[in-house]
Amino acid sequence: MNSVKEILSDHQVLAGSLRILTGATYSGKRAIYISGSPEGFRLLAQLLNRQADAAENEFTKFERDEGELFFTTTDSVDIFELHNHHPAAHHPRLE
C-alpha cells in the first residue's frame, strides 16, 4: 500500500487538477463542491482508498502552506482532512 506521500509524489504532474470549495447553496444549505479532471478524481480516489485502509482513528491532513494541496486550484480550500473513524456529532460550522 502506498503512503499518502508516495501517492502525492507519483502525481506531481496533476497540479491544479481538482477544485475543492466549501460554500452554501442559494437556499442556505452547506455544501462542498468538487470539480476536476478525470485524473484529478482518480488521485482523490487513491487518497480516499489509502485513508479507508488506514488504522481506525488515523487522519491525514493536507495543508496548502506545506505544499500538500498542489493538486488543487489556488482558490480551493487551504486545509483538507481525511479522518478514518465513525462520524460523530460536530459543530456544523468550522471556524
The full set of domain ranges for the chain reads 4-84
Residues 24-45 have a mean pLDDT of 95
pLDDT at residue 1 is higher than 60: no
Helix (H, G, I), strand (E, B) or coil at 80: strand
pLDDT at residue 36 is higher than 80: yes
Q: What's the pLDDT score for residue 91? A: 66
Q: What's the pLDDT score for residue 44? A: 97
Q: What's the pLDDT score for residue 87? A: 80
Q: How far out from the chain centre does Cα 29 lie? A: 20
Q: What's the pLDDT score for residue 92? A: 62
The answer for residues whose C-beta is within 8 angstroms of residue 35's C-beta and 6 or more apart is 18, 19
Q: What's the pLDDT score for residue 14? A: 96
